[in-house]
Amino acid sequence: MNSFAPAEKRPDIILLMATLILVTVGTVMIYSSSSIMAMEKFRDGQYFLKKQIFFVFLGMGIMVFLTKISYRKLRKLAYAGIVISVFLLCLLFVPGIGVKAGGATRWLNTGIFSFQVTEMVKIAMVLFLAHFLSKKTQHLREFSQGILIPLSITLVIVIPILLEPDFGTSVIIAIILMLMLYLSGTRLLHLAALAAAFAPAAVWLIVHKSYRWQRLISFLDPWKDPRNTGFQIIQSLLSFGSGGTFGVGIGDGMQKLFYLPEPHTDFILAIIAEESGFIGVGVIIFLFTLFVLRGFIISLKAPDLFGTLLAAGLTMIIALEAFINIAGVMGLIPLKGLALPFLSYGGTSLIMSLAAVGILMNISSYQT
């Protein structure tokens, strides 16, 4: 029997249902959180909703397409993905092409639409690492061939991302590199050496940039500067407090009335907390937990090392972004401008997240 034959073409239905519920909730809450802002800015209360619905259908189409394409065929894109990623990251620094917003240049302007390059880069990195590490299993315990090459490629990707600047995405890529090296059988001593090198570099990057240091200080005591560095987290905490157990009702929240910055993007969970309460937030956390568990189960049951690494890496992207966003808006870690997967407004994030789901579902349809 062919070990790669589909198991009656049954992809992971639990993963799919968790995704669809999160996307549906996100679409509803984007409308609730953005309608007043959209009316004020664009004279159309459904402005963000219409665009998000378009992104949902486009992302779903890509997800279905990738569900039908064998994940093994993606190997052919591993090196091309890295080359394209480096090229697009360099384009960000070309005046007129790179779009600067919020103090960072993360979007490419094509003249027709703009997209966030790092969302694609994360998937390209996972694909490359899964391909390379699964092909070099006999050399993974050697530092020069098992670690040095993927580390060098990762640095080539991370350095321009840091220059945008985007510290959060750089951290996510570094963590994913460590995870995939571990799963592929790299020696723990080598991983410990990498961690020892990453830690002081991360500390230096935080201290070197004053706004990162201020973000850390405001996380420790946001009320020390409530009108400036502590404003966002204070407003977010007010949303959680106002929601109580059951929330004030969908559409009835007050923090979206120009109190909470970016209520439909980075802080959409705070609006969910205010309007649906502890119950609503608990459901969201449960769905993400379920998604991550199913993702790692798919990884463990994959028929080959490439599938295992690819599924683990894609799952880790969603897990890290969800954790960083949720913990940030709750005041558990310093705030970082990352979207909440499937829920926050934004085409690139949603489309790439749904693409990752399509690949995961394809891997899940193969026998171990």
Kindly tell me the burial class for residue 349, based on how many C-beta atoms sit within 10 Å of its own C-beta (0-12, 13-18, 19 or more). buried
Residue 2: pLDDT over 50: no
Is 113 among the domain residues?
Answer: yes
Average pLDDT over residues 354-364: 97
Please report where in the chains the tokens 């009656």 appear, as a residue. 8
Contact predicate 218/233, CB 8 Å: yes
Of 342, 299, 304, 305, the residue nearest 321 (C-alpha): 342
Average pLDDT of the chain?
90
In a domain, 4, yes or no: no
Q: Which amino acid is present at 160? A: P
DSSP 250: T
CA 131 – CA 357 distance, rounded (Å): 18
With respect to residue 226, please indicate whether it lies within any of the assigned structural domains. yes
Q: Dump pLDDT digits (tens) for 49-73.
A: 999 999 999 999 999 999 999 999 9
Does pLDDT of 5 surpass 60? no
**249-270 b/e with 16+ CB inside 10 Å = b?**
eeeebebbeeebebbbbbbbbb
Give a yes or no: residue 8 inside a domain. Answer: no
Q: Tell me, what's the pLDDT at 124?
A: 97
The predicted-structure confidence for 170-227, as pLDDT tens digits, reads as follows: 999 999 999 999 998 888 888 898 888 888 888 888 887 777 777 777 788 888 888 8
Count up the domains in the chain and report the number: 1
Mind listing the pLDDT tens digit for each residue in 313-334? 999 999 999 999 999 999 998 8
98 within a domain of the structure (yes/no) = yes
Domain assignment present for residue 122? The answer is yes
Domain membership of residue 218 (yes or no) is yes
Q: What is the mean pLDDT of residues 36-51?
A: 92
- Tell me, what's the pLDDT at 368? 61
pLDDT in tens, 114-126: 889 999 999 999 9
DSSP 339: -
Which residue segment(s) compose the domain that 109 sits in?
13-364
CB contact at 8 A, 51 and 351: no
Q: Which residue has the tokens 């993905």?
A: 81
**What is the predicted pLDDT for the residue at 367?**
65
pLDDT of 188: 87
Across 105-109, 180-184, 289-293, least confident range: 105-109
Residue 7 forms part of a structural domain: no
Scan for tokens 């980075």, then name that residue.
266
Contact call for residues 274 and 298 (beta carbons, < 8 A): no
Task: Give the residue ranges of DSSP H helices in the chain.
Answer: 13-42, 47-68, 78-91, 117-135, 148-163, 167-183, 188-208, 210-220, 231-243, 268-301, 305-329, 347-364
* pLDDT > 50? residue 6: no
DSSP 8-state code for residue 366: B
pTM of the model: 0.93
CA distance 97 to 207: 30
Q: What pLDDT is stored for residue 292 in this prediction?
A: 98
